[in-house]
Chain A
Amino acid sequence: MKVEDIIKDFPILQNRKETYLDSGATTQKPYQVLNAIDNYYKSYNANPHRGAYSLSIEATEKYEETRAKIAKFINAKHSEEIIFSKNATESLNLIAYSYGMENLQADDEVVLSIMEHHSNLVPWQKVTKCAKSNLKYMYINEEYEISDEEIENKITNKTKIVGIAHVSNVLGTINNVKKIIKYAHKKGAVVIVDASQSIPHMKIDVQDLDADFLVFSGHKMLAPMGIGVLYGKREILNKMTPFLMGGDMIEYVYEQNTTYAPLPNKFEAGTQNIEGVIGLGAAIDYIEKIGYDTIQEIENEVVSYAIEELSKLDYIKLYITPNKENHSGVISFNINGVHPHDVASILDAEKVCVRSGNHCAQPLLRLLGIDSTCRASFYIYNTKEDVDNLIKALKKAYEMFKKYIKS
């Protein structure tokens, strides 16, 4: 499939003139996803797991079919290892409270990478404080990567939990999670992989990675907002207590006590986001139809071109690894001497959408000695023309500021 054909599937890209370079924040949605949601409400909307009537049974079937589809998509062994959540943040909070809070003891260690999104960092501050355990970080080297020595220095026999972003939402660095997981397992720790920035772009195989937990958000991979996934190994999830209590996660409820439903319902209290699940299923179908090979081919061409063009501007500082094979579709940059918010406003006036700010990764930015960056992030519908628009707008921003920039 060619990028020109892909673009035709995204109504917003036809309806608006913007150059959209913020897919790391959320992707645009194709007709296939929008239609699937529309069709759900028009054809088989009912509360799943509740009714004995066929409409509810149909809704339940579609819901559970999608769970099985996701299990297959990430090569989970069992369908019930897929838990639906609101987003990656909720999945991570579930792990922190239901696994972390119950298993961490005083003096145990939780090891995170310094490039974690706040969602895989702030919950661990709270949990380690409660458990009187220690929170440690794996830092990046001058190539914006975590070295093998750093992994081996930080993950020790005291480490019980390791949290790692598969791809950094600021640097675009692809972390070697397989290696981290192997080493952490040798030390007896469980590993949580935040795949939010990787799963839109690359094949995830939880069994090959041997991840204990893996989380992602639907809206960063063409699905609607408000739907996320938690994968956990069945034997671990079985031992965990529920995170949210309420309807549908129970077995017997007495006046004083309750027994809980088996997986996956144990972790899905209350009426779920069925339209989100249906949309996520359609998004996975769409990604599989195009294929990760094609996705990577399209992205590689555009991202390489972007790096090449940005590198020609001597007033731009890039925050990316020089090792191309370890870099995904996110490029953080700054115009030297100009604040990223001013750059983003000028780009906005040129109808180029980039993110500016700390990207929910304040500890990483503090380590880099900056408080914000501009970030362009790419997906299957981006073209070299989008890059040209970005470069043109950046040149304009620089022209506006250059006589005032302090050397």
Chain B
Amino acid sequence: MDDLTDVYNEIIMEHSMNSYNKKCLECASCCKMGHNPNCGDEIKLELKMNGNVIEDMAFSGHGCAISQASTSIMIDTLKGKTIKEAKEIIETFIAMIKREITDEAELEKLEDAIVFKNISHMPARVKCALLAWHTIEDMLEESNSCK
């Protein structure tokens, strides 16, 4: 990619450098670490469930702007969603990054997370963008333990 201002845009920069989602939850239902061993990015996701609904989420950790912003924006997107809705959004996000989506309308459900669309053109950074999404995917799979 020649012009990175599409990637390092205002929303990604704000979320990566000064995220309001970077904190600890007081009464999390469960938490999980996500790690990219090759680059050292490390996040801890905390999740608070209310029945079937993701009531609150937060993260801590360190990593590049892409991984940190992707985590923060994911939290904004998934908060208040049911497990079923969240799983659909996660699937769509991963498919978008892997360039598997042909119908652009499908991307609407991603809300702000659509800003990561251009990452699909930067193979070296795909795993940065996906770290949090793979981590939450595993958490929801194990969601029975998230009560």
**A interface, CB within 8 angstroms of B:** 338-342, 345-346, 348-349, 356-358, 362, 365, 371-372, 400-401, 404-406
Contact = CB atoms under 8 A, between A and B. Distances in A.
A345 B39 contact: no
Interface SS of chain A: helix, strand, loop or mixed? helix
A363 to B, nearest CB: 13
A363 B87 CA distance: 37
Contact of A346 (B8, B16, B41, B42): B8
A357 B40 contact: yes
Interface of B: 1-5, 7-8, 13-14, 16-18, 38-42, 62-66, 122, 124-125, 128
B18 A371 contact: no
B98 to A, nearest CB: 19
B124 A406 contact: no
B40 A358 contact: yes
Contacts of A342: 8, 64-66
Nearest to B17: A404
A339 B42 CA distance: 13
Contacts of B65: 338-339, 342, 401
Contact of B3 (A340, A349, A405, A406): A349
Contacts of A365: 40
Contacts of A371: 40, 42, 62
Nearest to B8: A400
A341 B5 contact: no
B18 A345 contact: no
Ordered nearest first, which 10 A-B pairs have the shortest CB separation?
A: A371-B40, A339-B64, A404-B17, A341-B64, A404-B13, A342-B65, A349-B4, A342-B64, A372-B40, A357-B39
B39 A341 contact: yes
A349 B2 CA distance: 5
B92 to A, nearest CB: 24
Nearest to A344: B124
Contacts of A357: 38-40
A141 B27 CA distance: 43
A347 to B, nearest CB: 10
Contact of A404 (B4, B14, B66, B124): B14
Nearest to B38: A357
